[in-house]
Amino acid sequence: MSSTETRVRVWDIGVRLFHWSLAGLILGAYLTAEEDATVGLHARLGLAVLAWVIFRVVWGLVGPAPARFRTFVRSPREVLAYARDYVRGQPGLHLSHNPLGGVMVVSLLALLLALTGSGLLMYLGPEWSGPLSPYMGRSLAHGVEELHEGLAGALPVLVVLHVAGVLLSSRLERQNLVLSMITGRKRAPDATPPARARAPAVVVAAGLGLATFIGLGLLLPGRADAAETPQALLQSYQRQAEAEGSGFAGFDPARGKALFLKETSGADPSSCAGCHGADPTRAGRSPAGRNIEPLAPSAQPERFTDAAKADKWFKRNCKQLLRRDCTATERGDVLAWLLTL
């Protein structure tokens, strides 16, 4: 075969590892996106995607010549000219990505950056009781979520176009481009000398990607675990309380107990204790006769380990008894009291 003689090493190990890791991580992220049980894993996979994307951007600036944006990002005029040749079935050979492929690489990287960025914002926001909760309003949090879901819907479209382009190009160029992304070798358009990466650049890029991954990875499990204890929920209420008013001076268990026992005339049941019972270490009873597990975490360890659930019940019951939602200070007071029992 004559083509083997002109094959040169094009894709360095960084580009190849990036490509296939990304494919696997994205597949995993899609499979774990919907269920509550896997959403923690989904967030970690998304973070790994972000780290790889950052690595690729750095690699596109300092990496070996074929990996650089300067090599494969072409002017609109060149892209159009290439597209015309492509439609005619006679595209020229390019050592790196062809001009249309370049458009695809940039689009995918930009989309993934926005997708993982919005996901990270969701993770740090109110949905997960993250550190940005006090600074993100409901509408902003909702907007970020909509954006994340919209972009997640657009990504498969780009992926399908990408795969279709690779298969079509493989046919037109009579070489297996999928295999090239594994072996790193492609048919050279002419006697192109193989590109070599400068050692410092490799170290810089790999270091940056790794540092990002480790840094964000450390941040993530910490948050995921933190949101799963009553103490962490209390801290989240504290951050919200500090953001709500300037006069916040800590939670007061006595105030929380008073609120819990406070009677509201005209309401039935007329207080928190009306259903939960005056002693939260023991079970209560709903108006429909249903047993309610003890509210105190010391008696029922699953209590206040799910921020969304706590939020739902505070909201319902506060509206029922106070005709308004409770403040973060009031929630914190009650939880602080329950934690003393």
> Residues interacting with other proteins, by CB under 8 A?
268, 285-290, 292, 312, 315-317, 319-320
Distance CA(54)–CA(337), nearest Å, equals: 45
What is the closest distance, in whole angstroms, from the C-beta atom of residue 111 to other proteins in the complex?
25
Q: Is the peptide bond before 269 cis (omega within 30 degrees of 0)?
A: yes
DSSP conformation class of 134: G
Cβ-based nearer residue to other proteins, 5 or 268: 268
Q: What are phi and psi of 9, to 5 degrees?
A: -75, 120
Cβ-based nearer residue to other proteins, 75 or 139: 139
Cβ-based nearer residue to other proteins, 195 or 272: 272
Cβ-based nearer residue to other proteins, 174 or 290: 290
Cβ-based nearer residue to other proteins, 235 or 317: 317
What is the closest distance, in whole angstroms, from the C-beta atom of residue 306 to other proteins in the complex?
10
What is the closest distance, in whole angstroms, from the C-beta atom of residue 216 to other proteins in the complex?
28
What is the closest distance, in whole angstroms, from the C-beta atom of residue 230 to other proteins in the complex?
19
What is the closest distance, in whole angstroms, from the C-beta atom of residue 185 to other proteins in the complex?
48
Cβ-based nearer residue to other proteins, 51 or 334: 334
Taking a C-beta distance cutoff of 8 angstroms, is the pair 14, 205 a contact?
yes
Token pair recorded at residue 24: 């696997």
Token pair recorded at residue 98: 């062809």
What is the closest distance, in whole angstroms, from the C-beta atom of residue 319 to other proteins in the complex?
5
Which of 109, 101, 145, 147 shows the shortest CA–CA distance to 26? Answer: 109
Distance CA(238)–CA(275), nearest Å, equals: 26
Residues 6 or more apart whose Cβ sits within 8 Å of residue 17 = none
Burial string for 6-43 (b: 16+ CB within 10 Å, else e) reads ebbebbbebbbebeeebeebbebbeebbeeeeebbbbb
What is the closest distance, in whole angstroms, from the C-beta atom of residue 138 to other proteins in the complex?
11
Rg (CA), the chain: 28
Please name every residue paired with 9 in a beta bridge, in sequence order, or none if there are none: 185
User: Vertex 166, ends 160 and 169: CA angle to 5°?
Assistant: 135
Cβ-based nearer residue to other proteins, 214 or 267: 267
Cβ-based nearer residue to other proteins, 3 or 286: 286
What is the closest distance, in whole angstroms, from the C-beta atom of residue 328 to other proteins in the complex?
18
User: Vertex 96, ends 162 and 211: CA angle to 5°?
Assistant: 80
